[in-house]
Structure 1
Protein backbone atom coordinates (compact mmCIF):
# COMPACT_ATOMS: atom_id res chain seq x y z
CA UNK A 1 0.00 0.00 0.00
CA UNK A 2 2.85 2.39 0.88
CA UNK A 3 4.67 1.56 -2.37
CA UNK A 4 1.48 2.14 -4.34
CA UNK A 5 0.94 5.48 -2.60
CA UNK A 6 4.53 6.57 -3.27
CA UNK A 7 4.21 5.49 -6.88
CA UNK A 8 1.05 7.58 -7.25
CA UNK A 9 2.75 10.55 -5.59
CA UNK A 10 5.71 10.34 -7.98
CA UNK A 11 3.36 10.10 -10.96
CA UNK A 12 1.48 13.18 -9.78
CA UNK A 13 4.76 15.06 -9.32
CA UNK A 14 5.87 14.13 -12.85
CA UNK A 15 2.59 15.40 -14.31
CA UNK A 16 2.94 18.65 -12.36
CA UNK A 17 6.50 19.12 -13.60
CA UNK A 18 5.50 18.31 -17.20
CA UNK A 19 2.80 20.94 -16.88
CA UNK A 20 5.20 23.85 -16.77
CA UNK A 21 4.40 27.35 -15.56
CA UNK A 22 5.03 28.62 -19.09
CA UNK A 23 2.43 26.24 -20.55
CA UNK A 24 -0.12 27.38 -17.99
CA UNK A 25 0.57 31.05 -18.75
CA UNK A 26 0.30 30.55 -22.52
CA UNK A 27 -3.01 28.73 -22.07
CA UNK A 28 -4.24 31.52 -19.81
CA UNK A 29 -3.31 34.12 -22.43
CA UNK A 30 -5.30 32.22 -25.07
CA UNK A 31 -8.36 32.12 -22.80
CA UNK A 32 -8.03 35.79 -21.88
CA UNK A 33 -7.77 36.77 -25.54
CA UNK A 34 -10.85 34.79 -26.51
CA UNK A 35 -13.07 35.16 -23.42
CA UNK A 36 -11.67 38.02 -21.33
CA UNK A 37 -11.02 38.02 -17.60
CA UNK A 38 -14.44 36.61 -16.77
CA UNK A 39 -13.71 33.57 -18.94
CA UNK A 40 -10.47 32.76 -17.15
CA UNK A 41 -11.12 30.31 -14.32
CA UNK A 42 -9.02 27.46 -13.03
CA UNK A 43 -11.74 25.14 -14.27
CA UNK A 44 -11.59 26.37 -17.88
CA UNK A 45 -7.81 26.43 -17.68
CA UNK A 46 -7.61 22.84 -16.41
CA UNK A 47 -9.98 21.72 -19.16
CA UNK A 48 -7.84 23.40 -21.79
CA UNK A 49 -4.70 21.78 -20.40
CA UNK A 50 -6.41 18.42 -19.85
CA UNK A 51 -5.35 18.29 -16.23
CA UNK A 52 -6.76 18.82 -12.75
CA UNK A 53 -6.85 22.19 -10.96
CA UNK A 54 -4.43 20.82 -8.37
CA UNK A 55 -1.68 20.53 -10.96
CA UNK A 56 -2.16 24.18 -11.84
CA UNK A 57 -2.16 25.29 -8.21
CA UNK A 58 1.26 23.64 -7.91
CA UNK A 59 2.60 26.49 -10.09
CA UNK A 60 0.10 29.36 -9.66
CA UNK A 61 -1.49 30.24 -6.32
CA UNK A 62 -4.61 32.10 -7.52
CA UNK A 63 -6.26 33.95 -10.39
CA UNK A 64 -4.68 37.27 -9.47
CA UNK A 65 -1.20 35.78 -9.69
CA UNK A 66 -2.10 34.07 -12.96
CA UNK A 67 -3.40 37.30 -14.49
CA UNK A 68 -0.24 39.16 -13.49
CA UNK A 69 1.95 36.38 -14.87
CA UNK A 70 0.06 36.40 -18.18
CA UNK A 71 0.37 40.19 -18.35
CA UNK A 72 4.08 39.97 -17.58
CA UNK A 73 4.62 37.50 -20.42
CA UNK A 74 3.08 39.94 -22.92
CA UNK A 75 5.00 42.91 -21.52
CA UNK A 76 8.31 41.01 -21.48
CA UNK A 77 7.96 40.10 -25.17
CA UNK A 78 7.22 43.72 -26.02
CA UNK A 79 10.01 45.26 -23.95
CA UNK A 80 12.59 42.69 -25.10
CA UNK A 81 11.99 43.22 -28.82
CA UNK A 82 15.41 43.86 -30.43
CA UNK A 83 16.13 47.47 -31.44
CA UNK A 84 19.70 47.40 -32.70
CA UNK A 85 21.36 50.78 -33.23
CA UNK A 86 18.23 52.83 -32.51
CA UNK A 87 18.55 56.24 -30.89
CA UNK A 88 16.97 56.75 -27.45
CA UNK A 89 14.10 58.74 -28.99
CA UNK A 90 13.48 56.08 -31.65
CA UNK A 91 13.59 53.40 -28.96
CA UNK A 92 11.02 55.23 -26.82
CA UNK A 93 8.75 55.55 -29.85
CA UNK A 94 9.15 51.84 -30.66
CA UNK A 95 8.55 50.73 -27.05
CA UNK A 96 5.51 53.00 -26.77
CA UNK A 97 4.01 51.76 -30.03
CA UNK A 98 4.81 48.18 -29.05
CA UNK A 99 2.80 48.56 -25.85
CA UNK A 100 -0.01 50.33 -27.72
CA UNK A 101 -0.26 47.41 -30.14
CA UNK A 102 0.10 44.81 -27.38
CA UNK A 103 -2.76 46.31 -25.36
CA UNK A 104 -4.86 46.60 -28.51
CA UNK A 105 -4.26 42.92 -29.31
CA UNK A 106 -4.77 41.86 -25.66
CA UNK A 107 -7.30 44.34 -24.15
CA UNK A 108 -7.10 42.67 -20.72
CA UNK A 109 -3.44 43.72 -20.35
CA UNK A 110 -4.37 47.32 -19.57
CA UNK A 111 -6.58 46.43 -16.63
CA UNK A 112 -4.12 43.76 -15.48
CA UNK A 113 -1.40 46.40 -15.26
CA UNK A 114 -3.55 48.70 -13.15
CA UNK A 115 -4.19 45.84 -10.73
CA UNK A 116 -0.48 45.10 -10.34
CA UNK A 117 1.11 48.43 -9.35
CA UNK A 118 4.77 48.06 -8.47
CA UNK A 119 4.93 44.49 -9.71
CA UNK A 120 7.18 43.09 -12.44
CA UNK A 121 5.07 43.90 -15.53
CA UNK A 122 4.94 47.58 -14.61
CA UNK A 123 8.60 47.58 -13.53
CA UNK A 124 9.65 46.20 -16.93
CA UNK A 125 7.95 49.09 -18.74
CA UNK A 126 9.22 51.64 -16.23
CA UNK A 127 12.82 50.45 -16.51
CA UNK A 128 12.81 50.21 -20.31
CA UNK A 129 11.56 53.78 -20.66
CA UNK A 130 13.74 55.16 -17.85
CA UNK A 131 16.94 53.84 -19.40
CA UNK A 132 16.17 55.71 -22.61
CA UNK A 133 15.22 58.88 -20.71
CA UNK A 134 18.59 58.75 -18.97
CA UNK A 135 20.31 58.16 -22.31
CA UNK A 136 18.66 61.35 -23.55
CA UNK A 137 20.50 63.30 -20.85
CA UNK A 138 17.44 64.35 -18.85
CA UNK A 139 18.59 65.92 -15.54
CA UNK A 140 18.32 63.58 -12.54
CA UNK A 141 15.74 65.72 -10.79
CA UNK A 142 13.48 65.64 -13.87
CA UNK A 143 13.75 61.92 -14.68
CA UNK A 144 10.96 60.63 -12.43
CA UNK A 145 8.39 63.13 -13.75
CA UNK A 146 9.50 62.54 -17.34
CA UNK A 147 9.27 58.76 -17.09
CA UNK A 148 5.92 59.08 -15.32
CA UNK A 149 4.52 61.31 -18.06
CA UNK A 150 5.53 58.81 -20.74
CA UNK A 151 4.29 55.83 -18.75
CA UNK A 152 0.93 57.39 -17.93
CA UNK A 153 0.41 58.48 -21.53
CA UNK A 154 1.30 55.07 -22.99
CA UNK A 155 -0.89 53.09 -20.61
CA UNK A 156 -3.72 55.63 -20.49
CA UNK A 157 -4.11 56.12 -24.23
CA UNK A 158 -3.34 52.48 -25.00
CA UNK A 159 -5.89 51.28 -22.47
CA UNK A 160 -8.58 53.68 -23.70
CA UNK A 161 -7.99 52.68 -27.32
CA UNK A 162 -8.30 49.01 -26.43
CA UNK A 163 -11.46 49.67 -24.41
CA UNK A 164 -13.00 51.54 -27.34
CA UNK A 165 -12.18 48.69 -29.70
CA UNK A 166 -13.57 46.12 -27.29
CA UNK A 167 -16.79 48.08 -26.85
CA UNK A 168 -17.21 48.41 -30.61
CA UNK A 169 -16.71 44.67 -31.11
CA UNK A 170 -19.14 43.84 -28.32
CA UNK A 171 -21.83 46.07 -29.83
CA UNK A 172 -21.04 45.10 -33.41
CA UNK A 173 -20.20 48.70 -34.34
CA UNK A 174 -18.22 49.35 -37.52
CA UNK A 175 -15.45 51.88 -36.88
CA UNK A 176 -15.88 53.71 -40.20
CA UNK A 177 -19.63 54.03 -39.74
CA UNK A 178 -19.19 55.27 -36.18
CA UNK A 179 -16.60 57.90 -37.16
CA UNK A 180 -18.75 59.03 -40.08
CA UNK A 181 -21.73 59.52 -37.77
CA UNK A 182 -19.70 61.44 -35.17
CA UNK A 183 -18.04 63.54 -37.87
CA UNK A 184 -21.42 64.48 -39.31
CA UNK A 185 -22.76 65.39 -35.86
CA UNK A 186 -19.69 67.54 -35.10
CA UNK A 187 -19.95 69.39 -38.41
CA UNK A 188 -23.47 70.49 -37.42
CA UNK A 189 -22.50 71.97 -34.04
CA UNK A 190 -22.87 75.68 -33.31
CA UNK A 191 -19.76 77.34 -34.85
CA UNK A 192 -19.61 79.98 -32.12
CA UNK A 193 -19.65 77.52 -29.24
CA UNK A 194 -17.60 74.73 -30.80
CA UNK A 195 -15.27 76.30 -33.38
CA UNK A 196 -12.43 73.80 -32.94
CA UNK A 197 -14.64 70.69 -32.86
CA UNK A 198 -16.32 71.77 -36.10
CA UNK A 199 -12.97 72.49 -37.73
CA UNK A 200 -11.67 68.94 -37.15
CA UNK A 201 -14.91 67.13 -38.00
CA UNK A 202 -13.63 66.19 -41.44
CA UNK A 203 -10.30 64.89 -40.07
CA UNK A 204 -12.13 62.57 -37.69
CA UNK A 205 -13.43 60.41 -40.53
CA UNK A 206 -10.00 59.13 -41.56
CA UNK A 207 -7.80 59.65 -38.53
CA UNK A 208 -5.35 56.89 -37.59
CA UNK A 209 -5.33 55.93 -33.89
CA UNK A 210 -1.73 54.70 -33.98
CA UNK A 211 -0.47 57.86 -35.70
CA UNK A 212 -2.38 60.04 -33.23
CA UNK A 213 -0.80 58.06 -30.40
CA UNK A 214 2.69 58.56 -31.81
CA UNK A 215 2.01 62.27 -32.27
CA UNK A 216 1.45 62.49 -28.52
CA UNK A 217 4.72 60.65 -27.84
CA UNK A 218 6.51 63.09 -30.13
CA UNK A 219 5.04 66.03 -28.20
CA UNK A 220 6.45 64.60 -24.97
CA UNK A 221 9.81 63.97 -26.64
CA UNK A 222 9.89 67.61 -27.75
CA UNK A 223 9.33 68.60 -24.16
CA UNK A 224 12.23 66.37 -23.14
CA UNK A 225 14.45 68.11 -25.68
CA UNK A 226 13.41 71.38 -24.04
CA UNK A 227 14.61 70.10 -20.65
CA UNK A 228 18.00 69.33 -22.16
CA UNK A 229 18.17 72.73 -23.90
CA UNK A 230 17.28 74.57 -20.68
CA UNK A 231 20.06 72.71 -18.88
CA UNK A 232 22.61 73.67 -21.54
CA UNK A 233 21.50 77.33 -21.42
CA UNK A 234 21.95 77.40 -17.65
CA UNK A 235 25.48 76.05 -17.99
Structure 2
Protein backbone atom coordinates (compact mmCIF):
# COMPACT_ATOMS: atom_id res chain seq x y z
CA UNK A 1 0.00 0.00 0.00
CA UNK A 2 1.24 3.49 -0.84
CA UNK A 3 1.12 5.80 2.20
CA UNK A 4 -1.37 8.59 1.64
CA UNK A 5 -0.46 12.15 2.72
CA UNK A 6 -2.88 13.73 5.16
CA UNK A 7 -4.01 16.27 2.54
CA UNK A 8 -4.81 13.49 0.07
CA UNK A 9 -6.77 11.61 2.73
CA UNK A 10 -8.85 14.72 3.41
CA UNK A 11 -9.63 15.28 -0.29
CA UNK A 12 -13.33 14.47 -0.81
CA UNK A 13 -13.96 11.30 -2.74
CA UNK A 14 -15.65 11.32 -6.11
CA UNK A 15 -16.16 8.59 -8.69
CA UNK A 16 -13.22 9.65 -10.86
CA UNK A 17 -10.80 9.68 -7.93
CA UNK A 18 -12.00 6.24 -6.79
CA UNK A 19 -11.60 4.74 -10.28
CA UNK A 20 -8.18 6.24 -10.90
CA UNK A 21 -6.97 5.02 -7.52
CA UNK A 22 -8.27 1.56 -8.45
CA UNK A 23 -6.35 1.65 -11.74
CA UNK A 24 -3.16 2.64 -9.90
CA UNK A 25 -3.67 -0.14 -7.35
CA UNK A 26 -4.25 -2.74 -10.09
CA UNK A 27 -1.11 -1.50 -11.87
CA UNK A 28 0.90 -1.92 -8.69
CA UNK A 29 -0.62 -5.12 -7.29
CA UNK A 30 -2.37 -6.84 -10.18
CA UNK A 31 -6.11 -7.24 -10.57
CA UNK A 32 -6.21 -9.94 -7.90
CA UNK A 33 -4.84 -7.41 -5.43
CA UNK A 34 -7.74 -5.03 -6.08
CA UNK A 35 -10.67 -5.31 -3.69
CA UNK A 36 -13.05 -2.82 -2.14
CA UNK A 37 -11.19 -3.24 1.14
CA UNK A 38 -7.70 -2.75 -0.34
CA UNK A 39 -8.90 0.25 -2.35
CA UNK A 40 -10.48 1.83 0.73
CA UNK A 41 -7.23 1.31 2.61
CA UNK A 42 -5.31 2.93 -0.23
CA UNK A 43 -7.62 5.95 -0.14
CA UNK A 44 -7.60 6.13 3.64
CA UNK A 45 -11.36 5.64 4.03
CA UNK A 46 -13.67 2.95 5.34
CA UNK A 47 -14.91 0.50 2.66
CA UNK A 48 -18.50 1.73 2.99
CA UNK A 49 -17.41 5.17 1.76
CA UNK A 50 -16.67 3.66 -1.66
CA UNK A 51 -20.23 2.45 -2.17
CA UNK A 52 -21.42 6.02 -2.59
CA UNK A 53 -19.47 6.09 -5.86
CA UNK A 54 -19.49 2.47 -7.11
CA UNK A 55 -22.30 0.10 -6.24
CA UNK A 56 -20.17 -3.06 -6.12
CA UNK A 57 -17.00 -4.73 -7.40
CA UNK A 58 -18.48 -5.30 -10.87
CA UNK A 59 -19.27 -1.61 -11.26
CA UNK A 60 -15.74 -0.82 -10.11
CA UNK A 61 -14.32 -3.15 -12.79
CA UNK A 62 -16.59 -1.61 -15.43
CA UNK A 63 -15.29 1.80 -14.43
CA UNK A 64 -11.60 0.94 -14.54
CA UNK A 65 -12.09 -0.79 -17.89
CA UNK A 66 -13.49 2.49 -19.20
CA UNK A 67 -10.53 4.41 -17.77
CA UNK A 68 -8.15 2.21 -19.78
CA UNK A 69 -10.31 2.32 -22.94
CA UNK A 70 -10.24 6.09 -22.56
CA UNK A 71 -6.49 5.91 -23.18
CA UNK A 72 -7.04 4.40 -26.64
CA UNK A 73 -6.27 7.01 -29.28
CA UNK A 74 -9.13 8.52 -31.25
CA UNK A 75 -9.13 8.08 -35.05
CA UNK A 76 -6.70 10.54 -36.59
CA UNK A 77 -9.14 11.45 -39.37
CA UNK A 78 -6.65 11.08 -42.22
CA UNK A 79 -7.28 9.96 -45.76
CA UNK A 80 -5.94 6.42 -45.27
CA UNK A 81 -8.49 4.30 -43.40
CA UNK A 82 -6.10 1.35 -43.17
CA UNK A 83 -3.36 3.41 -41.50
CA UNK A 84 -5.93 5.01 -39.17
CA UNK A 85 -7.38 1.67 -38.07
CA UNK A 86 -3.90 0.25 -37.59
CA UNK A 87 -2.80 3.24 -35.51
CA UNK A 88 -5.89 3.08 -33.31
CA UNK A 89 -5.57 -0.66 -32.63
CA UNK A 90 -1.87 -0.31 -31.84
CA UNK A 91 -2.74 2.56 -29.49
CA UNK A 92 -5.16 0.19 -27.75
CA UNK A 93 -2.36 -2.34 -27.44
CA UNK A 94 -0.08 0.31 -25.98
CA UNK A 95 -2.66 1.03 -23.28
CA UNK A 96 -2.92 -2.66 -22.42
CA UNK A 97 0.85 -2.96 -22.20
CA UNK A 98 0.75 -0.12 -19.65
CA UNK A 99 -2.04 -1.93 -17.77
CA UNK A 100 -1.43 -5.70 -18.25
CA UNK A 101 -4.43 -6.62 -16.07
CA UNK A 102 -6.88 -4.76 -18.32
CA UNK A 103 -7.23 -7.44 -21.02
CA UNK A 104 -8.59 -9.86 -18.42
CA UNK A 105 -11.06 -7.27 -17.12
CA UNK A 106 -12.25 -6.32 -20.61
CA UNK A 107 -12.74 -10.00 -21.51
CA UNK A 108 -14.88 -10.66 -18.44
CA UNK A 109 -17.31 -7.75 -18.81
CA UNK A 110 -20.78 -9.15 -19.45
CA UNK A 111 -21.93 -5.92 -21.13
CA UNK A 112 -20.00 -3.32 -23.09
CA UNK A 113 -19.34 -0.19 -21.05
CA UNK A 114 -20.13 3.27 -22.45
CA UNK A 115 -16.44 3.88 -23.14
CA UNK A 116 -16.11 0.56 -24.95
CA UNK A 117 -19.17 1.29 -27.07
CA UNK A 118 -17.81 4.72 -27.97
CA UNK A 119 -14.47 3.19 -28.98
CA UNK A 120 -16.10 0.54 -31.18
CA UNK A 121 -18.37 3.16 -32.75
CA UNK A 122 -15.37 5.34 -33.59
CA UNK A 123 -13.43 2.39 -35.03
CA UNK A 124 -16.37 1.34 -37.20
CA UNK A 125 -16.71 4.97 -38.25
CA UNK A 126 -13.11 4.93 -39.48
CA UNK A 127 -13.87 1.98 -41.76
CA UNK A 128 -17.03 3.64 -43.03
CA UNK A 129 -15.32 7.00 -43.61
CA UNK A 130 -12.77 5.10 -45.71
CA UNK A 131 -15.56 3.98 -48.02
CA UNK A 132 -15.98 0.39 -46.80
CA UNK A 133 -19.53 -0.90 -46.92
CA UNK A 134 -21.42 -1.66 -43.73
CA UNK A 135 -21.42 -5.31 -44.83
CA UNK A 136 -17.62 -5.54 -45.22
CA UNK A 137 -17.06 -3.52 -42.04
CA UNK A 138 -19.24 -5.96 -40.10
CA UNK A 139 -17.15 -8.92 -41.24
CA UNK A 140 -13.90 -7.01 -40.79
CA UNK A 141 -14.71 -6.37 -37.13
CA UNK A 142 -15.42 -10.07 -36.62
CA UNK A 143 -12.15 -11.00 -38.31
CA UNK A 144 -10.16 -8.60 -36.16
CA UNK A 145 -11.76 -10.05 -33.04
CA UNK A 146 -9.99 -9.28 -29.77
CA UNK A 147 -7.26 -7.41 -31.68
CA UNK A 148 -9.48 -4.34 -31.69
CA UNK A 149 -8.91 -4.27 -27.91
CA UNK A 150 -5.14 -4.55 -28.28
CA UNK A 151 -4.66 -8.22 -27.44
CA UNK A 152 -5.14 -11.64 -28.97
CA UNK A 153 -6.35 -14.84 -27.41
CA UNK A 154 -3.53 -17.34 -26.94
CA UNK A 155 -3.37 -20.16 -29.48
CA UNK A 156 -0.28 -22.20 -28.63
CA UNK A 157 0.53 -23.53 -25.15
CA UNK A 158 2.84 -21.42 -23.01
CA UNK A 159 6.33 -22.80 -22.34
CA UNK A 160 6.70 -24.91 -19.18
CA UNK A 161 6.99 -22.78 -16.05
CA UNK A 162 9.69 -25.01 -14.57
CA UNK A 163 13.35 -24.23 -15.26
CA UNK A 164 16.57 -26.12 -15.83
CA UNK A 165 16.56 -29.87 -16.40
CA UNK A 166 12.79 -30.14 -15.77
CA UNK A 167 12.08 -27.57 -18.46
CA UNK A 168 14.33 -29.32 -20.97
CA UNK A 169 12.67 -32.66 -20.22
CA UNK A 170 9.20 -31.15 -20.65
CA UNK A 171 10.19 -29.60 -23.97
CA UNK A 172 11.64 -32.89 -25.22
CA UNK A 173 8.44 -34.71 -24.26
CA UNK A 174 6.34 -32.13 -26.10
CA UNK A 175 8.56 -32.40 -29.18
CA UNK A 176 8.17 -36.18 -29.17
CA UNK A 177 4.40 -36.07 -28.82
CA UNK A 178 3.59 -32.96 -30.84
CA UNK A 179 6.48 -32.39 -33.26
CA UNK A 180 4.78 -29.79 -35.46
CA UNK A 181 3.79 -27.60 -32.51
CA UNK A 182 7.32 -27.85 -31.14
CA UNK A 183 8.77 -26.95 -34.54
CA UNK A 184 6.88 -23.69 -34.95
CA UNK A 185 7.24 -22.81 -31.27
CA UNK A 186 11.02 -22.99 -31.70
CA UNK A 187 10.99 -21.08 -35.00
CA UNK A 188 10.88 -17.63 -33.40
CA UNK A 189 11.87 -16.17 -30.06
CA UNK A 190 9.47 -13.87 -28.21
CA UNK A 191 10.32 -11.14 -25.76
CA UNK A 192 8.66 -11.57 -22.36
CA UNK A 193 7.93 -7.87 -21.80
CA UNK A 194 5.77 -7.51 -24.91
CA UNK A 195 3.14 -10.02 -23.82
CA UNK A 196 -0.24 -8.66 -22.72
CA UNK A 197 -1.67 -10.46 -19.73
CA UNK A 198 0.81 -13.27 -19.26
CA UNK A 199 3.02 -15.77 -21.08
CA UNK A 200 2.66 -16.98 -24.64
CA UNK A 201 3.32 -15.78 -28.17
CA UNK A 202 1.34 -12.55 -28.20
CA UNK A 203 4.33 -10.24 -28.62
CA UNK A 204 4.46 -6.99 -30.59
CA UNK A 205 5.80 -8.48 -33.82
CA UNK A 206 3.24 -11.29 -33.79
CA UNK A 207 0.43 -8.86 -33.05
CA UNK A 208 1.39 -6.44 -35.83
CA UNK A 209 1.98 -9.29 -38.31
CA UNK A 210 -1.54 -10.65 -37.82
CA UNK A 211 -3.07 -7.17 -37.82
CA UNK A 212 -1.37 -6.27 -41.11
CA UNK A 213 -2.39 -9.55 -42.75
CA UNK A 214 -6.02 -8.90 -41.80
CA UNK A 215 -6.05 -5.24 -42.83
CA UNK A 216 -4.36 -6.02 -46.17
CA UNK A 217 -6.96 -8.70 -46.85
CA UNK A 218 -9.81 -6.35 -45.92
CA UNK A 219 -8.33 -3.68 -48.21
CA UNK A 220 -8.22 -6.15 -51.13
CA UNK A 221 -11.84 -7.13 -50.58
CA UNK A 222 -12.83 -3.47 -50.47
CA UNK A 223 -10.98 -2.74 -53.71
CA UNK A 224 -12.74 -5.70 -55.36
CA UNK A 225 -16.17 -4.50 -54.26
CA UNK A 226 -16.72 -7.60 -52.14
CA UNK A 227 -20.12 -8.33 -50.60
CA UNK A 228 -21.18 -11.21 -48.39
CA UNK A 229 -24.30 -11.52 -50.54
CA UNK A 230 -22.23 -12.38 -53.61
CA UNK A 231 -19.48 -14.37 -51.90
CA UNK A 232 -19.42 -17.98 -52.78
- The one of 6, 9, 14 equivalent to 1:20 is 14
Retained in 2: the 8 A contact 1:79–1:128?
no
- The one of 204, 214, 228 equivalent to 2:222 is 228
Residues of 1 paired with 2:14 and 2:129: CA distance? 38
- The one of 42, 45, 49 equivalent to 1:51 is 45
For the pair 1:72 / 2:66, whether they are aligned, the reply is: yes
Q: CA-atom RMSD, angstroms?
A: 3.9
Query: Could you list the runs of 5+ residues in structure 2 that have no partner in the other structure?
Result: 1-8, 192-200
Which residue does 2:83 correspond to in 1?
90
Which residue does 2:97 correspond to in 1?
104
Structure of larger gyration radius: 1
**Per-residue Cα deviation, 1:13-40 (whole angstroms, up to 9, x for no partner):** xx99921211111110111122223321
Which residue does 1:126 correspond to in 2?
120
Retained in 2: the 8 A contact 1:97–1:210?
no
Q: CA deviation at 1:216?
A: 0.8
Residues of 2 paired with 1:40 and 1:205: CA distance? 29
Alignment of 1:1-235 (within 5 A): 18-80=12-74, 83=76, 85=78, 87-116=80-109, 117-155=111-149, 157-158=151-152, 160=154, 194=180, 198=183, 201-204=186-189, 209-231=203-225
Count of matched residue positions in the alignment of Structure 1 and Structure 2: 205
Which residue does 2:6 correspond to in 1?
none
Residues of 2 paired with 1:226 and 1:129: CA distance? 19
Q: CA deviation at 1:200?
A: 7.4
Residues of 2 paired with 1:124 and 1:159: CA distance? 23
Q: Using a 3 Å threshold, how does the CA distance of structure 1 residues 218 and 231 change in structure 2: closer, same or farther?
A: same
Retained in 2: the 8 A contact 1:138–1:224?
no
Q: Which has the higher helix share?
A: 1
Retained in 2: the 8 A contact 1:79–1:125?
no
Q: CA deviation at 1:159?
A: 5.6
Q: Secondary structure at the match of 2:112?
A: coil
Q: Using a 3 Å threshold, how does the CA distance of structure 1 residues 16 and 30 change in structure 2: closer, same or farther?
A: same
Q: Secondary structure at the match of 1:46?
A: helix
**Per-residue Cα deviation, 1:101-137 (whole angstroms, up to 9, x for no partner):** 3223322211221222332243133123211211232
**Per-residue Cα deviation, 1:17-68 (whole angstroms, up to 9, x for no partner):** 9212111111101111222233212211111111222322111111100111
Retained in 1: the 8 A contact 2:190–2:203?
no
